[in-house]
Amino acid sequence: MNIVFDFSELYNIENIISEGRMYMLNSISNLSTTEIEKHLNLIPISVLIFNRHHKLKHLNNVAQQALKKNPKFITPEKMDIFLDEVFRKASPITQLIEIEQSQYRYYYVPLKNDKSEVLEVIVYFDTNIPIQKDYEIYKEESEDLKALFESSYDVLYVSDNKGNTLRVSSACKYFWGETADNLIGRNVIDLEKQGVYTPSITRLVLEKGEKISAIQTTKKNRRLLVIGTPIKDDNGNIIRVVNASRDITEIELLQEEIEQMKSLVEDYQLEIAQLQQTINDERKNIYQGKTMEPYLDLAKRVAKVDATLLILGESGVGKEDFANYIHELSNRRDKPFIKINCGAIPESLLEYELFGYEKGAFPGATEGKIGLFEFANNGTVLLDEIAEIPYTLQVKLLRVLQEQEINRIGSTKPISINVRIIASTNKNLLEAVKVGQFREDLYYRLNVIPITLPPLRERKEDILPLANFFISQFNQKYGTNKHLSPQIATTLESYNWPGNVRELKNLIERLIVMSEKEEISHELLNLLPNSESKSEKVVQVHEIIPLKECIELAEKNLLKLASLKFRSTTEIAKALEVNQSTISRKISKLNIEIK
pTM over cut 0.75: no
Distance in angstroms (rounded) separating the CA atoms of residues 566 and 497: 28
79-93, 379-393, 534-548: which is most confident: 379-393
Span 422-449, average pLDDT:
92
- pLDDT classification of 30: cutoffs 50, 70, 90: low
β-pairing, 46-50 vs 56-59, is: antiparallel
The pLDDT tens digits for 544-590 are: 778 877 888 888 888 888 887 777 888 888 888 888 888 888 888 88
Query: Is 182's pLDDT higher than 50?
Result: yes
Task: Name the helix (H) or strand (E) containing 230.
Answer: strand 223-232
| pLDDT at residue 386, as a whole number | 93
* pLDDT (0 to 100) of residue 16: 35
- Which of 282, 328, 314 has the alpha carbon at shortest distance from 459? 314
> What pLDDT score was predicted for residue 271?
64
Q: DSSP letter string over 537-549?
A: G-S---S---HHH
pLDDT band at 383 (very low <50, low <70, confident <90, very high): very high
CA dist 182 and 185 (Å) reads 8
Q: Looking at residue 495, what is its pLDDT?
A: 84
Nearest to 202 by CA among 246, 326, 210, 542: 210
Tens-digit pLDDT profile for residues 332-345: 988 999 999 988 88
Predicted pLDDT of residue 282 = 45
Give the pLDDT mean for 66-95: 82
User: Among 132-141, 156-165, 345-354, whose mean pLDDT is lowest?
Assistant: 132-141
- State pLDDT tens for residues 269-299: 666 655 555 555 445 444 666 788 888 889 9
Angle at 493 between CA 488 and CA 498, to 5 degrees: 110
At 12, is the pLDDT very low, low, confident or very high (cuts 50, 70, 90)?
Answer: very low
**Residue 25 pLDDT grade (very low, low, confident, very high; cuts 50, 70, 90):** very low
Residue 462 predicted with pLDDT over 80: yes
State whether the Cα torsion 452-456-461-464 is positive or negative: positive
